Amino acid sequence: MALIRLKNVQYIYLEKTPLEREAIKDISLDIREGESIGIIGKTGSGKSTLIQLISGLLYPTQGEIFIKDRDIRKWNSKELCKIIGIVFQYPEHQFFAETVFEEVAFGPRNIGISDEKLENCVREALITVGLPYEEIKDRSPFNLSGGEKRRLAIASILAMNPEVLILDEPTANIDPKGKIEIMNYINRWVQSKNKTLILVSHDLDEIIKTVKRVIVLKEGKIIFDGLIEKLFLNYEKVEEAELELPEILKLRKVLEDKGYPLEGAFTLHEIVERIVAFKEHISIWKS
């Protein structure tokens, strides 16, 4: 059983108005439990629209979406929140509570967690993203640093313990060290609890480190769905998607153009190993 199934989904914004715009075009897709999936594509390709459809925040204008074999329109929103948690791009813009504790407690309370369990749940969620519970719980969310705010927003979703975590650009506008920390916290949570992850990101290095399967959108359509290695070793597909190759794969392309046999090598480690082996081969041959 697919955890999430999209069948011929279309989404049109402002349908039947002069401003109507078809953002998602005939997308079919299965997501299984425990998968880690990246969604990439240039700006305006439909990534945020797609994840809002999967979360039940938008309903398809045509086609169907099933969550655990049940039409998404038939789920009530509280039940759906227990399955799918979505962290929006710049989620800190939506803070509303007076304290960090209340900000995190809102979601779990809303889906009916008992008062006895609430404190533990908030503490655990904050610790999961590296925020010290005692020091931070009574502070105002608005006075935190940028990186702390982002981590708080993620903790507010983790506190509901959803089966599927959807993140829309979770590290946008965070410094490089902070980016790595946030992704480490997320990966640890996903892996230790065997969760399903859907990550939208412009940072392809981050995508490569985090997911196995990648979906590439272009103008609202899927133009690639498969293993991430297969995508980045297919230069024409990367060009078609108008994606910028990650630095390591740019290096790979330069070396390949210079005649190094790198077929199948994908990570920095694999590329270095191939070069070393090639050099040894040449020096034996020369001597």
Options 2-10, 39-47, 122-130, 186-194: segment touching ligand ATP (CB under 6 A): 39-47
Cβ-based neighbour number of residue 259 at 10 Å:
8
Residue of the chain from 5, 40, 49, 182 that contacts ligand ATP (CB under 6 A): 49
Residue of the chain from 8, 15, 21, 34 that contacts ligand ATP (CB under 6 A): 21
Report what 60 binds from Mg ion, ligand ATP, none; CB cut-off 5-8 Å by kind: none
**What residues have CB less than 8 Å from 195, skipping those under 6 apart?**
34, 162, 163, 164, 165, 189
Specify whether the CB–CB gap between 2 and 30 falls below 8 A: yes
| Buried residues in 54-78 as b, exposed as e (16+ CB within 10 A) | bbbebebbebebbbeeeebeebeee
Question: Does the protein bind ligand ATP through residue 13 (CB under 6 A)?
Answer: yes
Residue of the chain from 46, 85, 147, 162 that contacts ligand ATP (CB under 6 A): 46
Q: Select 14 or 284, whichever has its Cβ closest to ligand ATP.
A: 14
Options 26-34, 47-55, 109-117, 229-237: segment touching Mg ion (CB under 5 A): 47-55
DSSP, res 72: G
Least spacing, CB of residue 191 vs ligand ATP, in Å: 26
Report what 246 binds from ligand ATP, Mg ion, none; CB cut-off 5-8 Å by kind: none
Angle at 232 between CA 229 and CA 236, to 5 degrees: 135
Alpha carbon distance 229, 238 (integer Å): 11
Residue of the chain from 3, 9, 23, 131 that contacts ligand ATP (CB under 6 A): 23
Options 1-9, 37-45, 68-76, 153-161: segment touching ligand ATP (CB under 6 A): 37-45
Question: Does the protein bind Mg ion through residue 48 (CB under 5 A)?
Answer: yes
Write out the two tokens for 225: 């769905």
